C-alpha cells in the first residue's frame, strides 16, 4: 500500500511523473523523474544520513542541476548536529532540551537563539547583531516581535485565540499590554474572527482586504473567498482526502512518502 508513483498534470497540459522505490520497512530509497534521481541512506535508528542527487542530461541542461550529496550527522540523543554538501556545511549546537542555540552557516556566520523556560524563544541574532526579539505574556504567548525597523504586536481573545496583529514602524508610540492600536498609522494590520467551533471565519487584512472561510460539519475547509481571491471550493472523499473536483470520487494510493 505504499506510494510508488506521482503523476502531475500542469495547467498547460504538461505531465510530470515521479517513481518511488522503498525497502521492506517502507523507507524511501530512491525517487526518479525526467530531471534526475535521488537516493536516500539511513542509519540503524532510521535517521537519514545522506541524500544523493544524480541529474539527468535534461536536468543539467534545463535547470543547471549538478550532482551533489547532502550528509547528515546526529548526536547520541538523535539530534541533528551537522549538514554537509558541496556548497558548505551547517552545524548546530543545542541546549539540554534540544533547542538550537548556535547555528554555524556555510560562510562562517553564526545564527544564535536565546530561550527561556522550556524553550520559549526570546531573541535571534546574526553574528551578535539582533535580528528579532520576542515578548511574551504570562501564558508564553507572543505579544510582540521586532524585526528590523518593524515591531509586530499581537492580541488574543478570552478563549486564547489570536484576535489581532499590528505592525508599527520604529519610533511609533509604545503599545501598552492588551491595547489594540488603531489601523491608521500601522504598516500592516490584521483582525481575526472565529466561529463557534474555533475555526477562523474571516481574516480582515489591511493590505489584502477580507478573506472569508467556510467549513463542513467535519471541520474540513470547503471554501475561500475574498477581494484578492476567486471563490475557491474544496472537496473531499469520505476519508478526508482532497479531491480535484466534486465528482472525482475516492483518492487511491494516498500514502505520503518518507
The domains located in the chain, with CATH, are 137-257 (2.40.128)
The residue ranking higher by pLDDT, 115 or 3, is: 115
Residue 257: what pLDDT? 46
**Does the pLDDT of residue 1 top 90, yes or no?**
no
Lowest mean pLDDT among 21-30, 156-165, 211-220, 233-242: 233-242
CB atoms within 10 A of CB 113: 19
CA atoms within 13 A on the CB side of 22: 14
**Mean pLDDT throughout 98-102?**
97
Average pLDDT along the chain: 92
**Mean pLDDT throughout 18-39?**
96
Residue 21: what pLDDT? 97
pTM flag (> 0.95):
no
Residue 144 CA to residue 126 CA, distance in Å, equals: 20
Quickly list DSSP for 46-96.
S-EEEEEEEE-HHHHHHH----EEEEEEE-TTS-EEEEEETTEEEEEEE-T
Q: What percent of the chain has pLDDT over 90?
A: 78
**Mean pLDDT throughout 80-108?**
97
**Does the pLDDT of residue 258 top 70, yes or no?**
no
Give pLDDT tens digits for 207-241.
Answer: 999 999 999 999 999 999 998 877 899 999 888 88
CA atoms within 13 A on the CB side of 57: 0
**Mean pLDDT throughout 71-93?**
97
Confidence of residue 252 (pLDDT cuts 50, 70, 90): very low
**Does the pLDDT of residue 249 top 60, yes or no?**
no
**Does the pLDDT of residue 170 top 70, yes or no?**
yes
Give pLDDT tens digits for 132-142.
Answer: 999 999 999 99
**Mean pLDDT throughout 244-252?**
57
**Mean pLDDT throughout 181-195?**
94
Strand, coil or helix: 226: strand
**Mean pLDDT throughout 194-216?**
96
Name the DSSP class of 171: T
Cβ-count burial 43-64 (b if 16+ within 10 Å, e if not) = eeeeebeebebbbeeebeeeee
Cα angle 35, 38, 40 (rounded to 5 degrees) comes to: 175
**Does the pLDDT of residue 56 top 90, yes or no?**
yes
Amino acid at each position: 500500500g505504499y506510494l510508488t508513483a506521482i503523476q502531475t498534470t500542469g495547467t498547460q497540459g504538461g505531465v510530470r511523473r515521479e517513481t518511488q522505490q522503498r525497502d521492506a520497512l517502507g523507507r524511501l530509497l530512491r525517487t526518479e523523474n525526467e530531471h534526475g534521481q535521488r537516493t536516500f541512506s539511513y542509519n540503524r535508528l532510521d535517521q537519514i544520513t545522506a541524500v544523493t542527487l544524480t541529474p539527468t542530461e535534461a536536468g543539467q541542461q534545463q535547470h543547471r542541476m549538478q550532482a551533489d550529496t547532502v550528509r547528515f550527522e546526529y548526536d547520541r540523543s538523535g539530534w541533528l548536529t551537522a549538514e554537509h554538501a558541496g556548497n558548505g556545511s551547517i552545524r548546530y549546537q543545542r541546549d539540554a532540551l534540544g533547542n538550537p542555540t548556535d547555528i554555524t552557516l556555510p560562510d562562517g556566520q553564526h545564527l544564535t537563539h536565546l530561550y527561556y523556560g522550556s524553550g520559549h524563544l526570546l531573541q535571534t541574532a546574526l553574528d551578535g547583531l539582533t535580528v528579532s526579539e520576542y515578548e511574551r505574556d504570562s501564558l508564553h504567548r507572543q505579544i510582540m516581535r521586532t524585526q528590523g525597523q518593524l515591531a509586530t504586536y499581537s492580541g488574543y481573545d478570552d478563549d486564547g485565540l489570536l484576535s489581532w496583529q499590528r505592525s508599527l514602524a520604529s519610533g511609533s508610540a509604545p503599545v501598552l499590554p492588551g491595547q489594540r492600536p488603531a489601523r491608521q498609522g500601522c504598516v500592516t494590520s490584521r483582525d481575526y474572527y472565529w466561529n463557534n467551533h474555533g475555526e477562523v471565519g474571516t481574516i480582515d487584512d489591511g493590505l489584502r482586504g477580507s478573506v472569508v472561510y467556510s467549513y463542513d460539519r467535519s471541520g474540513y475547509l470547503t471554501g475561500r473567498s475574498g477581494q484578492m481571491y476567486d471563490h475557491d471550493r474544496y472537496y473531499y472523499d469520505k476519508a478526508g482526502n482532497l479531491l480535484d473536483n466534486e465528482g472525482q470520487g475516492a483518492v487511491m494510493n494516498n500514502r505520503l512518502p518518507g
